[in-house]
Structure 1
């Protein structure tokens, strides 16, 4: 069993912002697998599907980014999911728009959602798919809460598709295979 979490902030004002790329990927996965991510549970919205013969819970925490770990901990605890089977999808300012990077573990790298997950799970060992949103020229918060230019939106949507394929590869073949296949991805 796998838990796939897209990080973001709830509410229409945050829809399609740089900080909500995780939500965008979960929404596209739900469409691809013809499921709804609308069940209110684990301080978030979730839905269930099968990928590569594995039961997969898709989750969008409703806790706001900085408390994402509470939602992840509740779902992981309820389903007794190993941290290696918890896949987090989120924005990364250290990657250019159109790039994607997969890691099997590591620090939060300054990302408050990941800090919250590490703190709540007492572990930094969980696969993560980082979606590049580019570096801010000035202030970080207005940048990540802002929307992409139309050109960047086209690139990031290609990255979302690669992100879905990366999740599928992670589940079917493991993290190493997914890293080998997708860490060089550029939209």
Structure 2
């Protein structure tokens, strides 16, 4: 079984914000593979289905971003999922808007949701897809305000193909492995 986690914050106030691009990517993935996100368990909204012939559980933690690892750990422990079968999709302020980068492991890079997942899983060795949201144009701009801000119409146009590519990268990761997915989708 594979676990695919999209990071974001629950509630209407956060829909369309930069920090919720992980939720958007998971929604796109679920639409592509007809996975219904109709269960609430492990402090997450979840759906089960198949991608590339493999059973998957897709989750959107409802713990708020900074405690996402608690939900991920509960799911991992319940289903006994190996870390290399856990894919986390989230926003990255260090990448330009629309850029996608997949990694097999690594630090949190300042992302508090990922930091909590690393803490809860006690490892940084799990695959992830980082989706570029750009950085504030002004150096003094508060990062929290930026990531909780909404995308502009121009940014949305750039990001639509990016979340579709994230779904494709996820399918490739499951079907052919992380190395193939990274070679194909990292640009």
The CA distance in 2 between the partners of 1:38 and 1:154, in whole Å, is: 28
Q: Which residue of 1 aligns with 2:168?
A: 165
Picking from 146, 152, 156, the partner of 1:149 is: 152
1:90-135 superposed Cα distances (whole Å, 9 cap, x missing partner): 0000000010000000000100000000000000000000000001
Q: Which runs of 5+ in 2 are unaligned?
A: none
Residue 103 of structure 1 aligns with which residue?
A: 103
Report the equivalent of 1:39: 39
Q: Corresponding residue for 1:22? A: 22
TM-superposed deviation, 1:26: 1.0
Stretches of 4+ aligned residues off by more than 2 angstroms: none
The alpha carbon displacement at 1:35 in A equals: 2.5
Alignment of 1:1-16 (within 5 A): 1-16=1-16
Distance 2:84 2:136 in 1: 31
Equivalent-residue separation in structure 2 for 1:38 and 1:17 (angstroms): 23
CA root-mean-square deviation: 0.7
Q: Equivalent residue for 2:181?
A: 178
Q: CA deviation at 1:16?
A: 1.4
Q: 2-side partners of 1:140 and 1:157: how far apart? A: 23
Q: TM-score, normalised by structure 1?
A: 0.97
Paired residue for 2:94? Answer: 94
* Structure-2 residue corresponding to 1:81: 81
